[in-house]
Structure 1
Amino acid sequence: MLAVVIHALLAASLALTSLPAQATVTAPKTVDCTRVKCLALTFDDGPGEYTPTLLKTLKKAGAKATFFLVGERVEKRPKVAKQILAQGHAIGNHTYSHAALPALLDYEILDELKVNQEVIEKATGVRPKMYRPPYGQTDERVLRVADQVDLPEILWTGTTLDWSLRDTKKIKAVVLKLAQRDGVILMHDVVPQTVQVMPEILKELKKQGYHMVTVPTLMRAKGGLKSGTSYF
Structure 2
Amino acid sequence: MRWGFVFVTMIAALLFSILPVTAAELQAQPVWIAVNDELLTFPDAQPELRGGTTYVPVRFVAEAMQADLTWVPVTSLVTIYKDGRHITLDTANGILKTDLGEQHRVDLYTQDQRLMAPTRLMSESLGYQVSYIASGPISRIKDDSAKLTDEELAAKFKARIDKEKAKWEAEHPAQQPVPEAPKPDKVVYLTFDDGPNAYTEQILNTLKEQGVTATFFVLGPQIEQHKDLAKRMIDESYSVGLHGMTHDSKKIYRSPQTVVQEMEDCNKILTQATGFRTAIMRVPYGSKPWMPQNYRDATVNAGYHMWDWNVDSYDSKSSTRTADETYTEITNQVSGKKNAIVLLHDKKTTADALPKIIKWLKDNGYAFERIYGSTPPVNFWNDQR
Q: TM-score range by the shorter chain?
A: 0.7 to 0.9
Instruction: State the match for 2:246 in structure 1.
Output: 97
Aligned-residue sequence identity (percent) comes to: 25
The AA in structure 2 aligned to 1:196 is D
SS in 2 for 1:97: coil
Query: Does residue 129 of structure 1 match 2:282?
Result: no
Query: Does residue 144 of structure 1 match 2:293?
Result: no
Further displaced range: 173-182 or 74-83: 173-182
Further displaced range: 117-126 or 95-104: 95-104
Q: After superposition, where does 1:173-192 map in structure 2 within 5 Å?
A: 173-179=328-334, 180-189=337-346, 191-192=347-348
CA distance in structure 1 between the partners assigned to 2:184 and 2:360 by the alignment: 20
Instruction: State the match for 2:324 in structure 1.
Output: 169
CA distance in structure 2 between the partners assigned to 1:132 and 1:203 by the alignment: 26
Query: Does residue 70 of structure 1 match 2:219?
Result: yes
The AA in structure 1 aligned to 2:196 is P
Provide the aligned length of Structure 1 versus Structure 2: 199
The AA in structure 2 aligned to 1:109 is V
Further displaced range: 74-83 or 142-151: 142-151
Instruction: State the match for 1:86 in structure 2.
Output: 235
CA distance in structure 2 between the partners assigned to 1:68 and 1:108 by the alignment: 18
Shift of 1:202: 0.6
- Is the alpha carbon distance of 1:115 and 1:186 closer, same or farther for their aligned partners in structure 2, counting shifts above 3 Å? same
Instruction: State the match for 1:197 in structure 2.
Output: 353
SS in 1 for 2:281: coil
Q: After superposition, where does 1:48-67 map in structure 2 within 5 Å?
A: 48-67=197-216
CA distance in structure 2 between the partners assigned to 1:112 and 1:102 by the alignment: 7
Shift of 1:33: 8.1
RMSD over aligned Cα atoms? 2.7
The AA in structure 2 aligned to 1:66 is T
CA distance in structure 1 between the partners assigned to 2:259 and 2:182 by the alignment: 33
CA distance in structure 1 between the partners assigned to 2:218 and 2:383 by the alignment: 18
- Is the alpha carbon distance of 1:160 and 1:122 closer, same or farther for their aligned partners in structure 2, counting shifts above 3 Å? same
- Is the alpha carbon distance of 1:124 and 1:102 closer, same or farther for their aligned partners in structure 2, counting shifts above 3 Å? closer
SS in 2 for 1:135: coil
Scaled by the length of structure 1, the TM-score of the pair is 0.77
Alignment check: 8 A CA contact 1:143 1:229 kept: no
Alignment check: 8 A CA contact 1:102 1:138 kept: no
Query: Does residue 115 of structure 1 match 2:265?
Result: yes
Shift of 1:61: 0.5
Shift of 1:113: 1.2
SS in 1 for 2:344: strand
Instruction: State the match for 1:211 in structure 2.
Output: 367
SS in 1 for 2:368: strand
Instruction: State the match for 1:153 in structure 2.
Output: 306
- Is the alpha carbon distance of 1:33 and 1:86 closer, same or farther for their aligned partners in structure 2, counting shifts above 3 Å? farther
SS in 2 for 1:57: helix
Higher radius of gyration, 1 or 2: 2
CA distance in structure 1 between the partners assigned to 2:362 and 2:310 by the alignment: 19
Instruction: State the match for 1:230 in structure 2.
Output: 383
CA distance in structure 2 between the partners assigned to 1:94 and 1:33 by the alignment: 33
CA distance in structure 2 between the partners assigned to 1:214 and 1:33 by the alignment: 18
CA distance in structure 1 between the partners assigned to 2:243 and 2:253 by the alignment: 16
CA distance in structure 2 between the partners assigned to 1:37 and 1:53 by the alignment: 26
Shift of 1:230: 3.3
- Is the alpha carbon distance of 1:183 and 1:83 closer, same or farther for their aligned partners in structure 2, counting shifts above 3 Å? same
CA distance in structure 2 between the partners assigned to 1:58 and 1:103 by the alignment: 33
Q: Which runs of 5+ in 2 are unaligned?
A: 1-14, 23-180
